[in-house]
Homo-oligomer: A and B are copies of this chain.
Amino acid sequence: MSYIVGLGELMLRLSSLDSERLLQSAMLNATFGGVEANVCVSAARFGLNARYVTAFPDNALGRKAEELLLGQKVDTSCIVWKGKRLGLYFLDMGYDHRPSSVTYDREYSAISEISHADFDWDKIFYDAEYFHITGVTPGISESARELTIYAVKEAKKRNVKVSCDINYRKKLWKYGKNIWDVMPEIVEQSDILFANEYDAVKILGIKSDLDVDGVINDEEYTDLMERTIKKYNLSSVITTKREVKSSSYNIFSSKAIMNGKLYKSKKYDINNIVDRVGSGDAFVGGILSGLYLFDNPQDILEFATASSCIKHTIYGDWNITSKEEVISLMNSKGSGDVSR
């Protein structure tokens, strides 16, 4: 089986325990996460081959991160060991009406300072079918932006399909460029796009009078996304939909235009969210894996949505589940009976 390759930043995440506020006690939970790595972990757990590319400092943090990736069966052989520090972030985990809040401490990280010349692109794309990239990496630093664009070109050169998740993080993009100046060039070379109405209009420059923060009907959605597909020559545009009742309660589903048709997943009432971080990546990992596992778009979308739904119940960025569990949920009427 060919490989899914992801490139980006993996950070140490330091988060409060259970329902505590950050540093309410002296205990912190340390996991590792980053959008592209999370996608690779999902894909690997679903039985695909996944290769993650990044730069790690050669210290206790970098080595632990690699240990954990290896445990998930992600290929780490293209990681470059160079740089001074691993980016990190503090997560004050939200609960009910108290929202989660992220404090980034990721400047000067290994990935933010590395150059494309440090990587072996032939090795990276060896036997690769998909290359997954997001709007996070080019938001980190000027050199990370250059690295991203260089990587996408290297992928296309080798006929590797590009999957791009817009993933707009307002707390990034401080180095002088805006996301709307950068992403169009990347999306132009992409095949699969993860983007919602806001992204299409505000970042990718699709003209529209719609209120992109409001409710949009299926026709409006289809029209907007088909114009996006056309403009950027994409094969599909996919997005999750989330009605946020509180930090602990979301109504979750997804939509896609695939093969020129609108698909909508079933909706999940998620009342007792454990950890929402990484649920978007569990969705993306579900789509990329679903392309191998299923023939029809509806199944692919349902698989990815169920994958993401399960992620909401798992602590940490990674979706510690299996193909069997996800399929069981996507096929279930209810869910939650004890298997014994």
Map CB proximity to B onto A64-106 as digits: 1 under 8 Å, 0 otherwise: 1001101111000000000011001110101111111111110
0/1 interface trace, chain A 35-60, chain B, CB 8 Å (1 if under): 00000000000000000000000011
- Enumerate chain B residues within 8 angstroms of A70, measured Cβ to Cβ: 70-71, 73
Inter-chain contact B97/A313, CB cutoff 8 Å: yes
Q: CB within 8 A of A244: which of B14, B60, B268, B334?
A: B334
Q: Is B272 touching A95 in the complex (CB atoms < 8 A)?
A: yes
Residues A23 and B61 in contact, CB atoms below 8 Å apart: yes
Contact status B103-A338, CB under 8 Å: no
**Is A320 on the interface with B (CB-CB < 8 A)?**
yes
A312, B98: Cα distance in complex, Å:
9
Report the stretch among A26-34, A148-156, A223-231 that lies at the interface.
A26-34
Contact A101 B339 (CB under 8 A): yes
One of B24, B169, B170 near A320 (C-beta < 8 A)? B24
- B271 contacts A340, CB within 8 Å? no
Asked if B97 and A59 sit within 8 Å, CB to CB, the answer is: no
Contacts of A14 in B (CB 8 A): 14, 28, 30
Cα A231 to Cα B171 with chains together (Å)? 54
| Cross-chain contact A84 with B98 (CB below 8 angstroms) | no
Contact between A101 and B338, CB atoms less than 8 A apart:
yes
Interface residue A217 (Cβ < 8 Å from any Cβ of B) = no
How many Å lie between the Cα of A310 and that of B19 in the bound state? 12
Pick the interface stretch among A198-206, A245-253, A257-265, A287-295: A245-253
Q: Any chain B CB within 8 A of the CB of A269?
A: yes
Given B30, B72, B97, B320, which contacts A336 in the complex, CB threshold below 8 Å? B97
A244:B337 contact, CB within 8 angstroms: yes
Within 8 A of B (CB), among A282-340: 309-310, 312-316, 320-321, 325, 328-329, 334-340
Residues of B within 8 A of A30 (CB): 14, 23, 26-28
A334 to chain B, nearest CB (A): 5
Cβ of A268 and Cβ of B97 under 8 Å apart?
A: yes
A24: shortest Cβ distance to chain B, in Å?
6
User: How far in angstroms is the closest Cβ of chain B from A51?
Assistant: 15
Give the docked Cα–Cα distance between A21 and B325 (Å): 13
Asked whether A273 is an interface residue with its Cβ less than 8 Å from the other chain, the reply is yes
CB distance from A28 to the nearest CB of B (A): 5
27 CB < 8 A contacts A-B: A14-B14, A19-B274, A20-B315, A21-B320, A22-B64, A23-B64, A25-B26, A70-B71, A88-B105, A89-B340, A94-B336, A95-B313, A97-B270, A97-B312, A98-B310, A98-B321, A98-B336, A99-B328, A100-B338, A244-B334, A244-B335, A244-B337, A245-B271, A247-B335, A248-B272, A271-B271, A271-B272
Q: Which residues of A are interface residues toward B (Cβ below 8 A)?
A: 14, 18-31, 59-61, 64, 67-68, 70-73, 84-85, 88-90, 92, 94-105, 107-108, 169-171, 243-250, 268-274, 276-277, 309-310, 312-316, 320-321, 325, 328-329, 334-340
